[in-house]
Chain A
């Protein structure tokens, strides 16, 4: 179905994905598929200790290994450091530099110390073994307690008590009195494990200097090509023009690739030094232990309720273990600031106090990971409601019903204005779906047989479409937000559209083309998207925070509308009529009301005039057919929302948590491509379940990470991930150009809370409540089989 059925818009339909043909044929071009003449291969000498002064790095033996071409330390390459900044006072934020190769100190096992370049990857790896690094070890800082101790060893000398961020964004006056007077106060102490976003394709880059263009060409799998360009140009002291970042097909990212990696910069530096192309492909061990991780957080939270179960106040202290460095451009503030700003979520919380901290430890650094803090704070808030329901003898869905925001726009205690959503509707629909399928009866029947079945929900919203103002509020000094799109029609009437976003599985080649094809009345096959090339795309902030369709898609729509205006103006001039009398539809340009052959032109005929017969254009119309538009969001963004309902069974003998049913009711406004939205939901839920039940990177007493292969980092497969039944609601966004809200992260956000609530529901007879994810079989087994009291 490439040609639109007459008159039916493409937006809202699951048209075939433009990406698929090459990807199912093995003809995608991923970074490791690139081969350049004379290309060399790099690997990194990495720290084997978690914390220590570097006494010496001796690469002389490395350079003698057969097949090794060169090896460089930080001193050899003299690359400038990467420093992410927040515009906050020192009491709230301590900037720390991340050297591209460790210089004086190492701060985690796996930190890159030197780059080894060989004729092939095997030779480079041989070289690593010959490296000799001497350390003066320091005691590792491996957790909140050690990090925050009065006399703590410091990971960064400038960060006292290992605190990089300490902000108290909200503190409603009189909140303590509210807690004192409340009918009921409930508390939770929730911790979440350190997780890896784990794109199946590890990170990687190919860099070389192009003499003809006088440019460094850095082909790298990144979600943020322009930000990589900026950092590369600064670290390597080149004009930004002299760096071109091109992104090949990407095998996922989920946030791990939305920060600038040290290795991609080091590979570029080595390529410049050697004068030959250098490829770096991260191996899985490094990807698991030494790339960017996420999600290790601790919440001490309490909530006050009245006797009817209405929430009166929320008070939380959040500590995020951000590991060894602040990531660029987001900084270590990414997790605590997100949690602090948005925790009240879908509920009418009248009073709110929060303190958010980022601590630095001797663990691999962190990057935003799909959902960023929202999986955790949603879990915390949902736990508070579940606990309150129990203590007040209310139904857990009913207590939520009494508290969700129903009148929009709603300005919360966190100073955020929520645009219309379907919070209550999604909650009701989800519960009804679970009830209608008989799961409540099943639970009762199972309990009678001594089986442990539980039902859990998570009701939440997700801010998407963050504009410049929202990021500026976080006090980022590099402020993402807007997006620019250019739409260009050639003389054949075919269209090229650019976006500053960067698809890595989200199907932008399809969805952006749907938007353009509809706007210009063009066959979708004639629209081609360009993304991920800093020379082709004017500027962009890449893909993260569910911004692509909301912000990028809006820019695309606006640019296409402008081009449409020009097409109409030219046609109107040719017909000697008004532009309003011209319509673009079904692959044609038509004069309204006319039905003769002379009332219809093709796009190509207009394009011909615009380029090849400029003499026919009226004086006020410039030749050529290009249009550019910028889109930014000046309010608080748009909120997608969802309710997830989960039914689990706990197995007495093994402690296994089996998911029997998963229902998701989601609302992301206008779905450009429903199948893609469902794909995002299911994939997100799978990652949320992974965090809830399976995945965690732990560290031993000396800071050695547990996860070095897929044997010790349990990624769920089709065995563990259930089918998900999805229901759609549609509350269109009023200010994005398509009515769409973001859909990329919701699945991941809801799943941990819903699963944890379901597990706790199943554990109800035991009196145990769990507050840590991942929920391991051991914990469940212990809860179900308590030691007999002697």
Chain B
């Protein structure tokens, strides 16, 4: 803890969080991590915890569109930012193309790592829609999965990226005509 606002880590404080487009106010100890507050205060339990020390990536969420390890961040540090979790991906009961790609490619078995990979990919593809399969593999290497051997995760993200590019090209094409 380097930030000196956290000198009294057990002191409850009121923080405001913007999660999946909704504004929340939470009274919580300063020492509570973002992932704990998301999971246990806001009951958004889709984001998982695999290590609490920043390696496994199960807790990956988007903070201002960037994939972030929510176990390495205090909730208070996320005030004022836009936070997105796995719960935001589907549109009602309609799964997003990325979620569907994970299912179609069997990119999940137990599904514990899945929310982390989904948010990692969601953030990455938004920033680099033209990503190659090799670049995707590099990014996938940031998180851990114990079940799949990663191949199908890479394939799912690649397939989603390819389909998005194709759809985009078609849209541009039909606009031109």
Contact = CB atoms under 8 A, between A and B. Distances in A.
A interacts with B: yes
Interface string A199-228: 111100000000000000000000000000
A715 B33 CA distance: 24
Contacts of A33: 39, 45
B99 A24 contact: yes
Interface in B29-47: 29, 31-32, 39-40, 43-47
B113 interface: yes
Contacts of B50: 200-202, 251, 284
A35 interface: yes
Given A506-B109, A678-B106, A723-B151, A27 B95 contact: no
A269 B30 CA distance: 32
Name the interface size band of chain A: 35 or more
Interface in A710-733: 710-711, 715, 717-719, 721, 723-724
A28 B89 contact: no
Given A249-B110, A721-B151, 18 more contacts: A20-B102, A20-B103, A24-B95, A24-B99, A30-B48, A32-B48, A33-B39, A35-B43, A200-B50, A200-B147, A504-B110, A675-B106, A684-B149, A686-B148, A686-B150, A710-B56, A719-B138, A721-B149
B140 A200 contact: no
A682 B146 contact: no
B19 interface: no
A507 B109 contact: yes
A30 to B, nearest CB: 7
18 contacts: A23-B108, A23-B114, A24-B103, A26-B85, A28-B111, A200-B113, A200-B146, A200-B147, A249-B111, A250-B110, A251-B50, A682-B152, A683-B109, A687-B146, A710-B53, A715-B144, A717-B142, A723-B151
Contact of A24 (B49, B114, B145): B114
Interface in B99-147: 99, 102-104, 106, 108-115, 118, 137-138, 140-147
Contacts of B29: 122
Contacts of B10: 66
A249 B103 CA distance: 17
Interface in A53-83: 66
B153 to A, nearest CB: 7
Interface string A371-391: 000000000000000000000
Contacts of B151: 682, 721, 723-724
B52 A199 contact: no
Contacts of B150: 686, 717-718, 721
A25 B108 CA distance: 12
B110 A251 contact: yes
A747 B104 CA distance: 22
A495 to B, nearest CB: 23
A350 interface: no
B55 A711 contact: yes
Nearest to A687: B146
Contact of B90 (A25, A283, A284): A25
A26 B115 contact: yes
A252 B48 CA distance: 13
Contact of B110 (A24, A284, A505, A685): A505
A66 B10 CA distance: 10
B64 interface: no
Nearest to A720: B141
Contact of A21 (B44, B52, B95, B106): B95
Contacts of B115: 26
Contacts of A29: 45
Interface in A4-28: 14, 16-17, 19-21, 23-28
A679 interface: yes
B167 interface: no
Interface residues of B, number: 57
Given A682-B151, A710-B51, A25 B113 contact: no
B114 A252 contact: no
Do most interface residues of chain B lie in helix, strand or loop, or is the interface mixed?
A: loop
A199 B55 contact: no
Interface in A674-712: 675-676, 678-679, 682-687, 709-711
Contact of A505 (B44, B104, B140, B147): B147
Considering the complex of A and B, which 7 residue pairs feature the smallest CB-CB distances, nearest first?
A: A26-B46, A251-B112, A23-B111, A505-B110, A682-B149, A686-B149, A505-B109
Given A17-B106, A35-B40, A251-B48, A200 B99 contact: no
A23 B90 CA distance: 12
B87 interface: yes
A254 B89 CA distance: 30
B161 interface: no
B58 interface: yes
Nearest to A25: B90
Residue among B86, B110, B138 with max Cβ neighbours from chain A (10 Å): B110
Given A32-B39, A682-B148, A200 B110 contact: yes
B75 interface: no
Given A200-B58, A200-B144, A506-B109, A709 B31 contact: no
Contacts of A25: 46, 86-87, 89-90, 95, 99
Contacts of A35: 40, 43
Nearest to A288: B51
A703 B141 CA distance: 32
Interface string A23-49: 111111110110100000000000000
Contacts of A252: 109-110, 112, 146-147
B154 interface: yes
Nearest to A710: B55
A243 interface: no
A698 B151 CA distance: 30
A709 B71 CA distance: 14
Contacts of B49: 32
Contacts of A250: 110
Contact of B154 (A122, A283, A284, A718): A718
Contacts of B85: 26
Contacts of A283: 52
Contacts of B149: 682-686, 721, 724, 747
Contact of B51 (A122, A251, A709, A718): A709
Contacts of B145: 200
A507 B31 CA distance: 38
Contacts of A684: 149
A24 B146 contact: no
Interface string A247-278: 00111101000000000000000000000000
A198 interface: yes
A506 B104 CA distance: 16
